[in-house]
Amino acid sequence: MLQNRKADKKNMRDTLFTIGYEGRTLESFLATLKEHCVDSLFDVRELPLSRKKGFSKNALEEYLTRNGIRYFHLPQLGSSRVLRAQLKKTQDYLSFFAAMENTLSAAEETIDLIYRHLHEHVSCLLCFEKSADLCHRSLVAKKIQERNPNRVGICNL
């Protein structure tokens, strides 16, 4: 069984997972990460605060570390408070994603950092939104995938 898990982990490198914690418990969130052999979580929320117990930065980092998963907070890949407020008001996702494209164009080094990390670790992007299609993390994942589209796959958990 351990050998199969190691083989699975090797095959999962170069797959970039994404996950939203909306509607999940901390335990089910961890179980999903473990099921997919994730060993590195990249929090792409600008402000890693949550009303949901256990999902704010310090508590989440401590919990993940105790469970063998590295935690990295990358606020430069987050959507700003202004963009989030505008989206909430207008529900205009096209404008939101266009603005996020501009934000991410200034974060190329951070995107490269995650891309390089994929070669050695099973990695996952974290944000709140359950649906990746409605979350900026899908755009972050695509930017990482653009580094080598033939090698990097994206899987939304």
Q: Running DSSP on this structure, what letter comes out for residue 128?
A: S
The pLDDT of residue 3 is: 39
Question: Domain residue spans in the chain?
Answer: 20-45+54-156
The pLDDT of residue 128 is: 95
Average pLDDT for consecutive 10-residue bins of the chain (157 residues)?
46 83 96 96 96 96 98 95 93 93 93 93 96 94 92 93
The pLDDT of residue 14 is: 78
In degrees, rounded to 5, the angle at the alpha carbon of residue 133 between the alpha carbons of residues 128 and 138 is: 75
The pLDDT of residue 9 is: 56
What predicted TM-score, i.e. pTM, was given to this entire model? 0.89
The pLDDT of residue 81 is: 92
The pLDDT of residue 150 is: 84
Distance CA 104, CA 111 (A): 8
